[in-house]
Amino acid sequence: MATSTVSRAPAGAGIHWEYLVPITVVHLLACFAFLPWCFSWSGLALAAIGTNVFGTLGINLCYHRLLAHRSLKVPRWLERTLATIALCSLEDTPARWVGNHRLHHKHSDEIPDPHSPRNGIAWSHIGWLFRRSPDRKSFAFFDKYARDILADDYYRYLERHPTAPLVIYLVHAALFAVAGLLVGRWTGGDWSHGVQLAVSWLVWGVYLRTVLVWHITWSVNSLTHLFGYRTYATDEDSRNNWLVALLAMGEGWHNNHHHDPASASVQHKWWEFDVTYYVILLLERLGLATDVIQPRHLRKAARA
């Protein structure tokens, strides 16, 4: 791997409090999972299931393969639903996420790359989020990297109302708490049990799950550019990492992805399981996904 560093952010850019504060607060709230009173088996199940549902449908399928790479098409109502699920992971607006990801692909491990591990694993994993970069929120940036995203009224509304994503996140957290309260009251016979389950579902099903989705997503930025094997000699440091692929439902086959970013699938060997792609195939079978882009070798075979 090349050892040269890439530029992080303009000198004097300052701390990005808009990201630092909520990320810190949610991590602190997730720590309540260590308290026995906050534990419940149903809360644990919500954390495990929710990590896969919100991460796979919202981030992997919608933000990454659908919006950033346009590897498939779905009805607008479904696209907006999936984008709202992604917002419930508090991973930024669709336009900002897509813009940063497309910038990463265009200049991967070069100076404009927002999160290259050549600046250190901590920087690529989380540090880049805390350094303010006004150039990546400018009109010129969005016009170059996310014009198609902002053509949609819903996504444009989210950019014009910066508090909207946070409101969506808080509303979905409140729904978890209310559901826990009602289920606890119904199964436990008193309100104290309902309150305990509401807190458990909030801590495990929302805050801890959010932190897990964050770190799994960030691991694609950091670990898969440092550790793993390279099937293709791409012009950056991407690797195929089996552990990240397992946790991120296929996203860890990152060298495969950089070799063929347009493809809806990153499974290039039979054992490189890509669960996100299997969900896409299910949507296609149900008639909810069309124009699913196959891997490059299949596209070439079809043309031949």
Q: Residues 153-180: pLDDT tens digits?
A: 999 999 999 999 999 999 999 999 999 9
3-class DSSP assignment, residue 289: coil
The pLDDT tens digits of the residues spanning 179-189 come to: 999 999 888 77
Count of domains forming the chain: 1
Fill in the amino acid letter for 228: G
Whether residue 9 lies inside any domain: the answer is no
Whether residue 67 lies inside any domain: the answer is yes
Report the pLDDT averaged over residues 4-14: 53
Q: Which residue range(s) make up the domain with 207? A: 17-303
Whether residue 10 lies inside any domain: the answer is no
pTM of the model: 0.94
Residue 264 pairs with which residues in a beta bridge? Answer: none
Whether residue 5 lies inside any domain: the answer is no
DSSP H helical ranges for the chain: 17-30, 41-53, 76-87, 94-106, 121-125, 139-145, 147-150, 153-160, 164-188, 191-202, 209-222, 242-247, 254-259, 275-285, 296-303
3-class DSSP assignment, residue 294: coil
Q: Is the pLDDT of residue 102 over 60?
A: yes
Whether residue 281 lies inside any domain: the answer is yes
Whether residue 1 lies inside any domain: the answer is no
Q: Which two tokens stand for residue 122?
A: 């901590």
Residue 182 pairs with which residues in a beta bridge? Answer: none
Question: Rounded to an integer, what distance in angstroms lies between the CA atom of residue 80 and that of residue 18?
Answer: 24
